[in-house]
Structure 1
Amino acid sequence: MLARPNLMRKLMAMNIFQVAVILFYLSFAEKTGASTPVAPHGLLHPLAADFINPLPHALMLTAIVVGVGTTGVGLALLVSIYRRYETLEEPELLEKMRRENA
């Protein structure tokens, strides 16, 4: 990801990596034979072992929302950079920034 000179490719790689981490985390949250943590009507003492823990799913939903926000900010920055410097290639961008500051 860091070796690529194109900033858009770096942002896309970051998103792919984020989705991979979320899927990896959720794959360990699955429990065979378990159901959602909603006790049927009339059941006073449900067994905790029969239910899936909803916390990992809630945390990953939060991670997805944060990821979408981060991607939006990243895309907005890339649009701003492209409008100003007319490139998203890192070496060209750095050279144009050096010339601008000199």
Structure 2
Amino acid sequence: MEVALAGLIGLFFTAAAYLLLSKAIIRMLLGVAILGNGVNLLIFTIGRLTAEVPPIVPAGEYFPLEGSANPLPQALILTAIVIGFALFSFLLVLGYRAYQELDADNTDNMRVAEPENAPRPPLSY
């Protein structure tokens, strides 16, 4: 099972790298989302995959039974999913706003769409 998930993780990272190297903003955003899912799956796989032994400490013991899954990565993934969704939502709104202002989805066209003689704020140190 871990070997199949390792292949899937590699596929996620490959697809995310391909999409992040694109010049289209929407593809970059999808690459960020796929990269986040790949990292979550990686953390989940590192935490051991087992369904036989629940991670519950028996009465009178100090540690869970041998071979049980680690619950910490699962809790981290739940937090990462929420943070990843908030980040993706923010980036989606930011990309949409950039498209409205510059009327371009391609990053090369966005650079050209910026006016050359636009006043720039002074640098302050």
Higher relative contact order (CA 8 A, sep 6+): 1
Aligned residues: 99
Runs of 4+ in 1 over 6 A off after TM superposition: none
Q: Which amino acid aligns with 1:45?
A: E
Q: Which amino acid aligns with 1:28?
A: I
Distance 1:38 1:71 in 2: 37
2:36 corresponds to which of 8, 18, 35: 18
Identity of aligned residues (%): 23
- Which structure 2 segments of 5+ residues have no match? 1-18, 120-125
1:45 matched to 2:64? The reply is: no
Q: Is the 8 A contact 1:37 1:53 kept in 2?
A: no
Deviation at 1:38, TM superposition (A): 5.9
- Which structure 1 segments of 5+ residues have no match? none
Deviation at 1:52, TM superposition (A): 2.7
Query: If the length of structure 2 is used for normalisation, what is the TM-score?
Result: 0.68
Distance 2:117 2:21 in 1: 25
Query: If the length of structure 1 is used for normalisation, what is the TM-score?
Result: 0.81
